[in-house]
Amino acid sequence: GFLPSRFQGVQFQSKGDAVHYVRPPGGITDTTQRATIEAVNAFNQDLLADRGDSEIATRISQYEMAFRMQTSVPELADMSDETQETLDLYGVTKPGDGSFASNCLMARRLAERGVRFIQLYHRAWDHHSNLEAGMKDSAKAVDQASAALIQDLKRRGMLDDTLVIWGGEFGRTPMKQGSGRDHHINAFSLWMAGGGVKGGISYGNSDELGYRYLKDGEETHVRDLHATMLHTCGLDHMKLSAKYQGLDVRLTGVEPARVLKPILKNA
């Protein structure tokens, strides 16, 4: 939240065009669009030179990105070139329908086009009630597509330089909350694949109920996870900071954070 707004992502829609207004209005050609953007950017550059406001730089980059998206997003969202075998692998019944399976396939298409950061959401894991039925439905919707994404990246030679992280914002209590479970921050799990991470291992342990992590040398804080993620991207978390409210702010904060070398292939 402390990074400048030019680093914000672009949300894709589940229905209609993936991005709002990605198609120019009738009668507007690429040449006209390009000329308009260049004129607007020229005005914004003058304003930026006069005021030095970073939000103006954001606006300039957004106009440029919007123009590039108008030429690339329609082709990206058209999955007609995907084979039936690939659609079946992910469990896609209707390409582009906003399902988690379709979104996982879209993630692979984005990754192979050079998009550096992709975030997928499945919004039906918050089972405070009806856990038995809800978990079955959620797992059915997510497990096949998640496994397919890894398999698809691997067979295309993309997994070694693509880090996949699957997790939630917290864990769930080991005890019941009515017919569901409550939020829990003392112990929870996520998994990682590709991007230089070892396969087939686990790191860190909890007590026998899964209530609290064990202090056994493998206990992991979220800041350790962030330090490790940045390391796999070739970034030193100690050297990566952004100016915010007069401070040099790091993603890993001011407390010590460590790279989890035991889970990395070439640490």
Residues 26 and 91 in one domain: no
Quick check: is 258 in a domain? no
Full-prediction pTM beyond 0.85?
no
Residue 63 has pLDDT above 80, yes or no: no
**Structural domain includes residue 107:** yes
Q: Tens of pLDDT along 143-172?
A: 999 999 999 999 999 999 999 999 988 899
Say whether both 160 and 201 belong to one domain: yes
Q: What is the chain's percent helix, strand, coil content, to nearest 5? A: 45, 10, 50
Whether residues 173 and 130 share a domain: the answer is yes
Do 69 and 105 belong to one domain? no
Beta-carbon contacts of 177 under 8 Å, excluding residues fewer than 6 positions away, are 128, 129
In tens, the pLDDT along 19-38 reads 777 777 788 887 887 888 88
Has residue 104 got a pLDDT over 80? yes
Expressed as residue numbers, the domain containing 15 is 1-77
Q: Looking up tokens 């292939």, which residue turns up?
A: 265
Q: Which of 177, 201, 219 is the last residue of a domain?
A: 219
Beta carbons within 8 Å of 96's beta carbon, 6+ residues apart = 18, 77, 79, 102, 106
Residues 167 and 203 grouped into a single domain:
yes
From 37, 61, 77, the end of a domain falls on: 77
Q: How confident is the model at residue 9 (pLDDT cuts 50, 70, 90)?
A: confident
Mean pLDDT, the chain, whole residue set: 90
- Whether residue 226 is contained in a domain is answered as no
- Contacts (Cβ under 8 Å, ≥6 apart) of 114: none
